[in-house]
Amino acid sequence: MKILGIDPGLRTTGFGIIDKQGHKLSYIASGTIKTPDADLPQRLKVILASVSEVVRTYTPDCSAIEKVFVNVNPQSTLLLGQARGAAICALVSADLPVAEYTALQIKQAVAGHGKAQKRQVQDMVQRLLSLPGLPGTDAADALAVAICHAHSGEALANLGALAPALAKKGLRVRGGRLIG
């Protein structure tokens, strides 16, 4: 299964593609999408077109993207959310399933704890994918999103498959958690 991970950003959006065969993860490609110093609509257009091109080039089976957190600066958060929205539009236009993970979940899945520093994430991505060198920060973050989905996606899918039986017992699954 080929997984496309996206680390959204208005200036630089990272992407990473990995292949999952059983429990083995393999690196396929990674890189960054840089937007020009232009107005917001032009930047969003570049993100939409470039993510669409990545999908056409590598034909992933599914995708995962980092969720936006509320920043100190609300304007920055809104702008980042719009960049994320452009990337999601490209993914759903290609009929790809899109999973979403918080930065905490991604760091936990890759480095073992949610407070990992960028360098720790880069080191672990390099180790987990047996890369010859350290990936750039945006590409490493995108690969980490894909790795997180490779580890978490299967568990969430299994839990989702149990949902109908759980519903008969008066239980529900929300956000990967069992609630009564």
Residues annotated as binding site for Mg(2+)? 7, 66, 138
Enzyme catalytic residues: 7, 66, 138
Q: Which residues of 2-23 are buried (b: 16+ CB within 10 A; e: fewer)?
A: bbbbbbbbbebbbbbbbbbeee
Determine the length of the chain. Answer: 180
**Residue of 82, 80, 108, 101 whose CA lies nearest to 145:** 101
